[in-house]
C-alpha cells in the first residue's frame, strides 16, 4: 500500500498552551482509498488537517506529500493547495465571498485560468453539487447543508488529488448526509483519495476502507474497519462507540462462523439474516 501523504513524528502546540495538540504523530494515508480519521473531541484531527496544507507548521517532525517534505514558502504552498483540498468543518470559515458562483470561481482565478475555462468549470461543479440554482444567491441566505455543498464545490473545482473533509456530516440531516456520501463515492470513483475526520463510528465503519484512530495527538490504531472496531475494549477505552451494526452482528451465532465477514451496511446485514432464517 503506497502512501500519498504522511506525517513523521510531528509535534505541534498552539501558542500559549502547554499540551501538545500533536505528539510525535505518525500517520500514512493510503493512495486511492477512503480513510476515516476517528478520535474523540480534542484528539488532534483538525490540527492534523491544518498541517496537511501547511496552515500550521510542525514544531518538530515532518509532513510529506508524495514522499516529499512540505516547503513552507508561498509558491510551494500555492501548488500544494491545488493538489490537496481541505473542507473545513464549519463552512463559515471557508466561504468568504458573497455568492456560490464568486466563491467557486475565486480559486480558479487565483490559479490563473482563462475566463471561459473558469466559467465552464464553475458551472459544471455547481451543477454536479446540485446548487446551480443557488449560484447567485447570497451565501448568508443558504442553509447549513447548502453552505457545506458550496464549500465542497469550491474545493473540488480545483480538482485536488487528495480531498480531506473535517466532520463533513456534523449537523447534517439524514437525507443531506446520504446525498453527501453518494457524492463522495462519485468523487472517489474518479480516482481521488479521500480522508474524512469523524466521530460518527457508524459512518466510519460503513464508509471507510482504512481507519486511523487518534488519541491525545497520537495515532493509536490503524487498520481496516473490521480490524479496528472488533477491538471492543480498546475502542471503548478511547471514548469511542462501537458501530451498531457490528455490535448487533457480534451478538449473533453467525458471527463466530469461520469465513463469514461482518456486514458493513444494512442491506448486507439483512441478506445474512434472511439466509440464516430461511
Ligand atoms: N486554536 C486553538 N488554540 C489553542 N488550542 C487549540 C486550538 N485548536 C485546538 N486546540 C487544542 O488542540 C488539541 C487538538 O484539538 P483539535 O485538533 O481541534 O481536535 P479534534 O479536531 O480532534 O477535536 C485540543 O487539546 C484543543 O483544545
Ligand atoms: Mg475537529
- In this structure, which residue's CA is closest to atom 2 in ligand 1? 14
147-203 pLDDT per residue, tens? 999 999 999 999 999 999 999 998 888 888 888 899 899 999 999 999 999 989 999
What's the CA-to-centroid distance between 44 and ligand 2, angstroms?
7
**What is the Cα–Cα distance from 240 to 213, expressed in whole angstroms?**
10
- Ligand closest in space to the Cα of 216: 1
Q: Does 44 sit in the ligand 1 pocket, CB within 6 Å?
A: yes
**What is the Cα–Cα distance from 75 to 86, expressed in whole angstroms?**
18
pLDDT score of 172 = 84
DSSP state of 159: -
Ligand 1 atom closest to the Cα of residue 19 is: 25
Which domains does the chain carry?
3-96+155-234 (3.40.50.300), 243-278 (no CATH)
- In this structure, which residue's CA is closest to atom 7 in ligand 1? 14
Burial (CB count <10 Å: 0-12, 13-18, 19+), residue 153: buried
Question: What is the percent of the chain where pLDDT is above 70?
Answer: 100
Sign of CA dihedral 55, 194, 46, 94: positive
Q: Does 42 sit in the ligand 1 pocket, CB within 6 Å?
A: yes
Contacts of 198 (CB under 8 A, 6+ apart): 36, 37, 38, 167, 168, 169, 204
pLDDT score of 167 = 95
Chain position carrying cell 432464517: 277
pLDDT score of 175 = 86
Q: Does 23 sit in the ligand 1 pocket, CB within 6 Å?
A: no
73-118 pLDDT per residue, tens? 999 999 999 999 999 999 999 998 999 999 999 989 988 899 999 9
Q: Does 21 sit in the ligand 1 pocket, CB within 6 Å?
A: yes
Q: Does 43 sit in the ligand 1 pocket, CB within 6 Å?
A: yes
- What torsion, rounded to 10 degrees, do the Cα atoms 155, 157, 161, 166 define? 20
What's the CA-to-centroid distance between 83 and ligand 1, angstroms?
25
Question: What is the percent of the chain where pLDDT is above 90?
Answer: 80
Q: Does 38 sit in the ligand 1 pocket, CB within 6 Å?
A: no
* pLDDT at 244 > cutoff 80: yes
Asked if 195 and 185 touch (Cβ cutoff 8 Å), the reply is no
Amino acid at each position: 500500500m503506497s502512501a500519498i501523504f504522511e506525517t513523521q513524528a510531528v509535534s505541534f502546540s498552539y501558542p500559549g498552551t502547554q499540551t501538545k495538540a500533536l505528539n510525535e504523530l505518525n500517520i500514512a494515508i493510503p493512495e486511492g482509498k477512503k480513510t476515516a480519521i476517528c478520535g474523540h473531541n480534542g484528539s488532534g484531527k483538525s490540527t492534523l488537517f491544518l498541517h496537511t496544507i501547511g496552515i500550521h507548521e510542525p514544531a518538530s517532525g515532518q509532513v510529506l506529500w508524495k514522499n516529499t517534505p512540505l516547503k513552507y514558502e508561498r509558491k510551494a504552498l500555492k501548488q500544494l493547495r491545488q493538489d490537496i483540498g481541505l473542507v473545513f468543518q464549519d463552512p463559515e470559515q471557508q466561504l468568504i465571498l458573497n455568492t456560490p458562483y464568486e466563491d467557486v470561481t475565486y480559486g480558479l482565478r487565483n490559479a490563473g485560468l482563462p475566463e471561459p475555462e473558469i466559467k465552464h468549470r464553475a458551472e459544471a461543479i455547481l451543477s454536479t453539487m446540485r446548487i446551480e440554482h443557488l449560484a447567485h444567491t447570497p451565501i448568508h441566505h443558504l442553509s447549513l447543508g447548502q453552505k457545506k455543498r458550496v464549500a465542497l464545490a469550491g474545493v473540488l473545482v480545483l480538482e485536488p488529488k487528495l480531498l480531506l473533509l473535517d466532520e463533513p456530516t456534523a449537523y447534517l440531516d439524514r437525507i443531506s448526509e446520504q446525498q453527501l456520501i453518494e457524492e463522495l463515492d462519485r468523487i472517489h470513483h474518479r480516482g481521488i483519495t479521500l480522508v474524512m475526520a469523524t466521530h460518527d463510528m457508524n459512518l466510519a465503519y460503513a464508509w471507510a476502507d482504512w481507519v486511523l484512530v487518534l488519541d491525545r495527538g497520537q495515532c493509536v490504531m490503524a487498520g481496516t474497519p473490521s480490524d479496528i472496531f472488533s477491538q471492543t475494549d480498546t475502542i471503548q477505552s478511547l471514548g469511542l462507540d462501537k458501530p451498531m451494526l457490528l455490535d448487533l452482528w457480534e451478538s449473533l451465532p453467525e458471527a463466530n462462523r469461520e469465513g463469514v465477514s461482518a456486514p458493513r451496511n444494512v442491506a448486507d446485514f439483512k441478506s445474512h439474516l434472511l439466509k440464516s432464517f430461511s
